[in-house]
Structure 1
Amino acid sequence: MNTPEIPAPVRELLAALVDAFDLPLPDITDGAERAYHRVLAERARTAHATLRIALATGPEDFEHGAAYLRRRVAEIPADYRPWPGPQDAAEGGEGR
């Protein structure tokens, strides 16, 4: 893929955002789905706050914002049972 040149601090912040929302799908149980939505909402609030600060302070703080977002996301783990996927469902597990 040929991507245009993006300044390193901007790329780092964008990568932290992508990673923050890169969550496995939850299992089909109500508990797993509720936990998934809780994790997603907490990470979204953190990302929103990080972006607000980044926009207010400017590009010189993007690297700091990316590091902060990564630290906070690490404190909000995907602590639910993930969906096993169609390959596991075909082998006797529950499908989605």
Structure 2
Amino acid sequence: MERFTFEEDDLGGAFYLFEDETNIGEVTFRKRREDAISINHTYVKKEFEGKGYGKKLVDKVIEYAKENELNLSATCWFADKVIQSA
């Protein structure tokens, strides 16, 4: 069963994706301003690549940004691609 965990501090945050107890990957973001965040890193373990997990991680940040009324950008090429297609 897939589940996400979330960590946040003054500089930004991260979502981690697990399948049962296995950590599949993560996405991290930095706070740019009070009303803006930027995804700076997306990672999925090699054995889980190509299964849509990276998109699920970025989608989680998109959802977080919408819920918190934050502007969203990305310096990570993969996250930028997902955001542009959303």
Where on the TM-score scale, by shorter chain, does this alignment land: which range? Answer: 0.3 to 0.5
Higher helix share: 1
TM-score, normalized by length of structure 1?
0.30
The higher radius of gyration belongs to: 1
Higher relative contact order by CA 8 Å / sep ≥ 6: 1 or 2? 1
